[in-house]
């Protein structure tokens, strides 16, 4: 109960009186008391929080943040080393990239290039003769100036019809429409004829050369869909 009202309540002797006046005042005091109780609880929470904050050692937080940053840096260095040793162990021999379903030839390991460390682009002439490009119902933005605009399906004859395997996509990338293949949709055939699957490009058995965005040949750029 609010101290001021409580004092008034008892000092005026209304606490002992009977009748309407008592009810009115007691109604007011009850409301005020509830409010005071709420305020008190809020204050308690604030004090507890401030007490806890006082006890927190800022230098301790700084140390912990440094430790996290160092661990992160170490992890990234390890990742780079692993990637470099993986790259060094890769073959320069010509492999063939086959459709993961019909095993038709899509392109060779010399005809797939990596652009800006992320997109794997087939640059062989005739690529568009063996695939079907289908515009996505909705473009999907995946970065600044980058969006997925279409899908690439295998168009090679298979069995009684067309294969239709999902090979990758077409990205609108910094104003260019570039086709990209996903490693998991393909089968990789070595010069000796052995075949293997790789979920990620990083683990393919052959080296992939880089290409600058402006060096992608015109015939590799996807025509407007
Ligand atoms: Zn196919």
CA–centroid distance, residue 130 to ligand 1 (Å): 9
pTM of the predicted structure, to 2 decimals:
0.66
Task: Give the separation between CA 129 and CA 117, rounded to whole angstroms.
Answer: 27
In the reported structure, the alpha carbon of residue 68 is separated from the centroid of ligand 1 by a whole-number distance in angstroms of 46
Confirm whether 11 is domain-assigned.
Answer: yes
Q: What distance in Å separates the CA atoms of residue 200 and residue 189, rounded to the nearest whole number?
A: 15
Judge if 117 and 203 occupy the same domain.
Answer: yes
Q: How far apart are CA 20 and CA 32, in angstroms?
A: 18
Q: How many domains does the chain have?
A: 2
Contact 163, 104 (CB under 8 A): yes
The CA–CA distances, whole Å, from 123 to 27, 71, 97 equal 84, 40, 13
Residue 159 inside a domain? The answer is yes
CATH of the domain at 105: 2.170.150.30
CB contact at 8 A, 107 and 179: no
Both 113 and 205 in one domain: the answer is: yes
Do 41 and 105 belong together in one domain?
no
In the reported structure, the alpha carbon of residue 63 is separated from the centroid of ligand 1 by a whole-number distance in angstroms of: 55
How far apart are the CA of 163 and the centre of ligand 1, in A? 4
How much of the chain is helix, strand and coil, in % rounded to 5? 40, 30, 30
Statement to judge: residues 118 and 188 lie in one domain: yes
Which residues sit with Cβ closer than 5 angstroms to ligand 1, an ion? Answer: 99, 101-102, 154, 156, 163, 165
Residue ranges making up the domain that contains 179:
96-219
Asked if the structure places residue 88 within a domain, the reply is no
Alpha helices in the chain (DSSP H): 3-11, 20-55, 58-88
pLDDT value for 128 = 97
Q: Are 115 and 208 in the same domain? A: yes
Two tokens, residue 42: 């809020």
Measured in degrees and rounded to the nearest 5, phi and psi for residue 165 equal -65, 140
Question: Two tokens at 214?
Answer: 């402006």
State the distance from the centre of ligand 1 to the C-alpha of 135, rounded, in angstroms.
Answer: 19
Which residues have CB under 8 Å from 36's CB, separation 6+? 1, 2
Q: Cα of 113 to ligand 1 centre, how many Å?
A: 20
119 and 44, same structural domain? no
Question: What is the distance in A from the centroid of ligand 1 to the CA of 169?
Answer: 15
Q: How far is CA 174 from the centre of its chain?
A: 20
* pLDDT at residue 122, rounded to an integer: 98
Residue 94 C-alpha to ligand 1 middle, in angstroms?
20
Q: Which two tokens stand for residue 120?
A: 């794997």
Residue 177 phi, psi (nearest 5): -95, 105
Is 103 found in the same domain as 48? no
Distance CA 166, CA 151 (A): 7
pLDDT tens by residue, the chain, 225 residues: 444 444 444 444 444 445 444 444 455 677 788 888 888 888 888 888 888 777 777 778 888 899 999 999 999 999 999 888 888 889 889 999 999 999 999 999 999 999 988 899 999 999 999 999 999 999 999 888 899 999 999 999 999 999 999 999 999 988 899 999 999 999 999 999 999 999 999 899 999 999 999 999 999 999 988
């Amino acid at each position: 109960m609010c101290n001021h009202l409580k004092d008034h309540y008892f000092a005026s002797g209304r606490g002992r009186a009977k009748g309407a006046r008592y009810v009115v005042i007691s109604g007011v005091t009850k409301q005020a008391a509830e409010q005071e109780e709420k305020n008190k609880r809020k204050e308690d929470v604030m004090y507890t929080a401030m007490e806890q904050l006082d006890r927190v050692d800022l230098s301790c937080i700084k140390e912990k943040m440094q430790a996290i940053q160092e661990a992160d840096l170490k992890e990234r260095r390890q990742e780079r080393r692993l990637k470099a040793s993986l790259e060094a162990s890769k073959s320069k021999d010509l492999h063939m990239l086959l459709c993961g379903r019909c095993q038709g030839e899509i392109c060779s390991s010399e005809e797939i290039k990596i652009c800006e460390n992320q997109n794997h682009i087939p640059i062989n002439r005739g690529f568009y003769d063996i695939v079907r490009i289908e515009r996505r119902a909705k473009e999907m933005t995946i970065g600044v100036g980058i969006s997925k605009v279409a899908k690439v399906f295998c168009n090679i004859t298979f069995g009684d019809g067309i294969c239709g395997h999902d090979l990758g996509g077409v990205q609108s990338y910094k104003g260019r429409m570039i086709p990209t293949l996903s490693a998991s949709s393909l089968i990789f055939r070595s010069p000796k004829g052995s075949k293997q699957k790789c979920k990620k490009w990083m683990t393919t058995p052959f080296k992939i050369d880089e290409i600058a965005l402006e060096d992608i040949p015109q015939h590799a750029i996807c025509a407007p869909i």
